[in-house]
A and B are shown apart, each in its own frame.
Chain A
Amino acid sequence: MAIERKIPNLDTVTTINDDGSKYNIHPADVKGSFTTRRRLTAWFLIVVYVALPWIQINGYPAVFINLDELRFHFFGFTLLTQDLWVFFFLISGLAFGLFVLAALVGRVWCGWFCPYTVFLEHLYRRIERFVDGDATKRKRLDAAAMSSSKAIKRSIKWGLYVLASFILAHIFLSYFISIPEVWKNVSDNPTENFSQFLFILAFTGIFTFCFGWFREQFCIILCPYGRLQSALTDDQTITVTYDYNRGEPRGKKRKFSIEETGDCIDCRRCVSVCPTGIDIRNGIQLECTACSACVDACNDIMKKVDRPTGLIRYDSTAGVKTGKRNILRPRIFLYLLLTIFGLGALTVTFLNKAKPFYGGVTRMLGTPFVATSEGVRNTFVINLTNKRNRDASFTIKLEDKETHQLQVEDRTLTLTPLAEDSFTLSILAPIDSYKGALDIHFIITADDGTSQSLPARFLGPGVRLYKESQQNK
């Protein structure tokens, strides 16, 4: 069976054959400054991903989505389900941040930071390279008939894929049930935590499938962020581009020929290293994830043929065409403004609303008020949740300006970590100072000084008729 070679063009997706089957790409090895930087970034991100569940802040892991108890621990802050609305601002702030970044530098997220790329390029492809060898060897192995050595190699490779996916699935799980729990469940019988076992099996399968077979199909066809970033790219976006002014007409320069050729010697190194199977010389394309492998590949060759590097480089379409770049254009400022709004709103609301406790007030079951000769009485139920991971005591009073009209017993209570408690509170408006229904505020103060004001309404009968009816008694 001949080794398949497809020539990338602008009318088809290289990785989809004309009968619908998948054409497997085997990118060649590449070395260079961008590749080094990408690897370092990737490994830094992997370390962060693995380390976060281990790092404890304020007694809880740095990122811990506790689904069992519905508490979300995030870098020292503990959010209850009532607080999750802050994530709306966080996400919209991040989304606009992505818009700015994509409009400025194109799909830099895809090529450098995306977890899919990080795991695929710098973990799974490394495994493949280790087991199966370089691109030529891999293509030959693909084309060869099944033999015992091929079977052994395939088993080792897929075995390593499954092992890596297995470990990643456990780390993923630990974001939801914390490392100590994961460790305990690992040593227990799988049937005891069956849903978690299914979770691990499912994600091992998903990771193996995605990073072992599916690969670039996700980036090209499925990923919405990829399309979003592509849509935000315009003529001024700095991304991986081929300088056709310098490069064309391409071809190998013959020594004693008078034919003029451009810097591109048509060595096709840029095509052979591309993980999505395009030819960057055809222009900025849908499939390109801006991984900058072709940049390093071309620079390598340019040095060897004694020509200046940068034939493929980070530049904008307009920059290549005219030599001039206009990076700070109106839409950048617009996106920046929206990002600042989003993140600003997040910070303001977070600081205002994210308190170490949650308090709520409702009216007590029964009649809305009791009117007697002593005065008018309302009873409320106060509900408190201590979000801290230590004991906290709270005092509850009425707002100052209301106390001359109303009497209430000041209350203090202590709650254990993450505990919730409710209690009743009765307020009396003595008949002499009763002036009708009014808005009141319960001030709850925690022992660390943070306080919250809960509004409620003190109800009662009409003043004149009430006082008359009491006098007549």
Chain B
Amino acid sequence: MDKDSQQADADIRRADYATEKGEVILRKHEYDGIQEYDQKLPNWWLVALWASIAAFIIYYTVYYTFDLMPSFSDEMDAKVEAVQKMRKKALAETLAKLNDNSLVNVWSTDPEIVAAGHKTYTAMCAACHGADYKANGGTTGRALDDGIWEYGGKPMDVFNVINNGSPEGSKGLNGMKMVAWGETALTPKQVAEVTAFIISINPADFADFKN
């Protein structure tokens, strides 16, 4: 609305509306020389305003006052719980199939399982236990081919060390302890595969359990 650019004010159809309706369309108060029109907001705008206020009240009472529906944090908690449940279930399922006997006779004799275990070993274990299983001369971890099983020589002992980490109260090697791989980076199935792989490279140590 650039009044300066209009040459003849009289030619502009201005405020016919006010004349026709006989209404005053300017509010009395003046703010720094500016006066305000007094016209109705569009109805759709007012409806939207009232609707959003109503929506807020409904939202707040449903989600927070009466807890009728789960809020975002409730949903997050539920998801975390579901994941924990899944993990427990996976572990239980794996453990159900595992015992000393099956680890030696079924798992470590299956070439696919051993290959999968080897792959996991190279990715996660070789850094400390060495690609040659000698653990860099026993500095970064325990050697896995020397026949010494610090935390128990049964197949399930090996599984438990990998799955749950070094046992409580143990001192570890050079201040380092095994992390609970089963809860952090590996699924219980992967832990079983790695165990099978370790068994397969040490046939002599587990000969007792062989059928």
Contacts and interface: CB of A to CB of B under 8 A. Distances in A.
Interface in A11-63: 11-12, 16, 18-22
Nearest to B40: A20
Interface string A214-226: 1001000100000
A455 interface: no
Given A20-B42, A377-B140, A12 B176 contact: no
B17 interface: yes
A364 B127 contact: yes
A374 B138 CA distance: 10
Contacts of B16: 7, 9
Interface string B116-137: 0000001111111001000011
B1 A249 contact: no
B14 interface: yes
A18 B14 contact: no
Interface of A is mostly: loop
A428 interface: yes
Q: Is the interface on chain A under 10, 10 to 19, 20 to 34, or 35 or more residues?
A: 35 or more
B92 interface: no
Contacts of B125: 424
Contacts of A317: 2, 5
B42 A18 contact: no
A270 interface: no
A423 B121 CA distance: 10
Most central of A8, A11, A286, A321 by chain B CB within 10 Å: A11
Contact of A11 (B14, B42, B126): B14
Interface stretch (B43-51, B53-61, B80-88): B43-51
Given A9-B13, A248-B11, A423 B123 contact: yes
B50 to A, nearest CB: 13
Interface residues of B, number: 45
Most central of B15, B41, B127 by chain A CB within 10 Å: B127
A366 B179 contact: yes
A11 B7 contact: no
A422 B5 CA distance: 69
B211 interface: no
B73 interface: no
Contacts of A286: 1
B174 A372 contact: yes
B204 interface: no
A249 B136 contact: no
Given A11-B25, A424-B123, A426-B128, A283 B5 contact: yes
B29 interface: no
Contacts of A364: 127
A245 B7 contact: yes
Interface of B: 1-2, 5-8, 11-18, 21, 23, 25, 37, 39-46, 122-128, 131, 136-137, 139-140, 174-177, 179, 184-185
Given A11-B25, A19-B40, A244-B7, 18 more contacts: A11-B17, A12-B39, A16-B39, A16-B40, A20-B41, A20-B46, A214-B44, A221-B42, A221-B45, A364-B127, A365-B184, A370-B176, A372-B139, A374-B136, A377-B140, A379-B128, A423-B124, A426-B128
